[in-house]
Structure 1
Amino acid sequence: MSTIRALRQFTAVSSRAAVLRSASSSVRARLVSGKLPSRAFSVSARSFGQGTADVALSNKLLEETKYEKESMAELSKEPEFLQEFKAQGKWQIEDTPLNDEVLLTRKFGNESLRLTFSIVDIRGENEEFDNEAASEENDEDNSQEEEVLNTYPIRASLTVTKSSAPGSLAIDMMCQEGQFVIDNITYYKEGSLATDLTAEADWKRRGIYMGPQFDTLDIGLQEEFDKFLQERGIDQSLALFIPEFAEHKEQREYVGWLEGVKNFVDA
């Protein structure tokens, strides 16, 4: 969700709250006077399964879609930052529409690297931003709010397997402010456990030692792990790319969601 959309939501919520307060006062007055009118049930739907609110909802969805497309005029074009990332030729991007997760893959010698991250963290950050905005209606520096919004942490998971040896490494990290912060590193004797999504593999993973908290390791060992990852492309440029791509994807998915819901309502 873009910053502009988050600010628009805050404004809309404030307006709706004022209207609801006014309406509540009116209803209470009618209840006291005993003059609360009754509303007859109306069967005016166009056909079975199509309610009277459908048209208004469809129009609102269309309005929101147009607004988002206008505010993201370049949405249909591949952004420059993405073109530059692809031109480097290090990572391949697997981005499935309507899917929260993004997969980056690459080869490094006899190793296969798979890094996944999700745009869910962006949605959670924007919800937090909405709550903060609601309690700070008189905030005068929106540019600072936008800057803070763009520093949200994004969880990432990296798996490393080798074609010449069994086993694998699974590394849980946080990507934020141009760097990766490692949480823990798990070693699997069975390499497939790092990537297998079956129920059986999930059951096996539950009993495996996940490794120590990374920041409790010897400082020298932490530094060597950092070098190990940077040599494989888990570096600052990737840490800057991930949040930018996640925000780009979230905006694109939101527009697709609006269009999909409208088509369903109209059907």
Structure 2
Amino acid sequence: MSALRCLRTLTSSSGRTSLRVSSSTRRSLTTFVNSANHRSANAFAVGGTRGFKVSSCARGEGASAADIALVSKLKEEIKYEKETAAEVGEPEFIKEFESHGTWKIHESPGQDEVTLTRTFGNESIRVMFSISDIDGSQNDASEDEVTENEDGTPFGGYPIRCSVAITKPDGGALTFDTLLQEGAFVVDTIPYYSDSALGTDLTAEADWKRRGLYIGPRYDQLDTGVQEEFEKYLEERGIGEGLAMFIPEYAEYKEQKEYLSWLKGVTKFIEA
């Protein structure tokens, strides 16, 4: 959930997570039902049962008062999200990030995973993260936990899991299982695979093979000197504070787009 939407939910008594229908919506529904009943009674009085007509929104094809109320709410949310997107416009942080020409962003509409790639000497580097990580962390946030960026916009310090894979042409892959939190990559483990395909393939078969392999000790169990050198190793490859600040912003931007697309898809389904 985006920080803006999270803050809106916290400060609104009619958040999306509630299934209760507001009093204004109930009044609208009551007016609709009474009006429909009045039209139905007139139809029977004038032409009997054969003259009875039902509007296209209530022909027994799945539409109901609940459908109508839900669609109304969904459209309100779509309107709000569009207005917010229009106010924000194209994020400058993405333009600036891409202008350096170091990392390439790979993402597809409807997918929750994002991949960043670059080369460093003879190495190919891939950083993967999922926007779904930001949802669960902010759903339980309290109003006091919503902080602000320097520009005054809400920012959540939610953790995001990132998988870093570094491969070389002669084979082998060094991977870093990390948790991105508070502007830093917190390393958990550093698995090494002599077969680069085994270390980077996203297939179920490769995942199954990896489960039986030794992945090395936990990072915090390594000698502090070794830890420091690994941090320098990653920093030299651009995996440091700058990237750690960019990923949460991009995850939130991507999640916002996917949320709007989801709203439109669900609305279209219910109206069909």
**TM-score class, shorter:** 0.7 to 0.9
Find the partner of 1:118 among 126, 130, 135. Answer: 130
1:218 aligns with 223
- The 5 Å alignment of 1:3-22 reads 3-10=3-10, 11-12=12-13
Contact 1:3 1:146 in 2 (8 A): no
User: Is the aligned partner of 1:209 residue 2:210?
Assistant: no
Q: How does 1:71-90 map onto structure 2 within 5 Å?
A: 71-74=84-87, 77-90=89-102
How many residue pairs are counted as aligned between the two chains? 231
C-alpha distance in 1 between matches for 2:66 and 2:14: 21
DSSP 3-state at the match of 1:194: helix
1:157 aligns with 2:157: no
Matched, 1:92 2:104: yes
Would the aligned equivalents of 2:138 and 2:158 in 1 still touch at CA under 8 Å?
no
> 1:181: how far off?
1.2
* Residues 173, 192 of structure 2: 8 Å contact kept: yes
2:49 paired residue number:
none
What CA deviation, in whole Å up to 9, does each residue of 1:99-145 have, x standing for no partner? 1111001111111111001111210121111xx35xxxxxxxx6x62
Classify 1:112/1:170 alpha carbon distance in 2 versus 1 (closer, same or farther; 3 Å).
Answer: same
Please list the CA deviations of residues 155-201 of structure 1 after superposition, one character each: whole Å capped at 9, or x if unmatched: 100111111x2211111111122221111100011111122122321
In 1, the alpha carbon distance for the partners of 2:4 and 2:157 equals: 16
Residue in structure 2 matching 1:108, options 100, 116, 120? 120
In structure 1, stretches of 5+ residues that fail to align are 21-43, 134-141
| Pairing of 1:47-196 with structure 2 (within 5 A) | 47-74=60-87, 77-129=89-141, 132-133=142-143, 145-147=146-148, 149-163=155-169, 165-196=170-201
**SS of residue in 2 equivalent to 1:73:** helix
Contact 2:190 2:219 in 1 (8 A): yes
Deviations 1:202-234 (A, max 9, x none): 221111011111011111111111111111110
CA drift of 1:250 comes to 1.2
Q: 1: CA distance between counterparts of 2:79 and 2:93?
A: 25
TM-score by length of 1: 0.79
Correspondence 1:20-35 to 2 at 5 A? none
Distance in 2 (alpha carbons) for counterparts of 1:200 and 1:118: 21
Identity, in percent, stands at: 53
Q: TM-score, normalised by structure 2?
A: 0.77
Give the letter for the 2:146 counterpart.
Answer: E
CA distance in 2, matches of 1:230, 1:128: 33
Aligned match of 1:30: none
Which position in structure 2 is the counterpart of 1:228?
233
Q: Residue 161 of structure 2 contacts residue 180 of structure 2 at CA under 8 Å; is this kept in 1?
A: yes
The alpha-carbon distance between structure 1 residues 2 and 197, as it changes in their structure 2 partners (threshold 3 A), is: closer
Question: Cα 1:128–1:57, aligned 2, differ >3 Å: closer, same or farther?
Answer: same
Residue type of the alignment partner of 1:90 = T
Distance of 2:147 and 2:13 partners within structure 1: 18
**Shift, 1:146, TM fit:** 2.8
Structure 1 Cα separation of the partners of residues 183 and 61 of structure 2:
54
Secondary structure of the residue that 1:240 maps to in structure 2?
helix
Counterpart Cα distance in 1 of 2:206 and 2:184 = 31
* Secondary structure of the corresponding residue to residue 163 of structure 2: strand
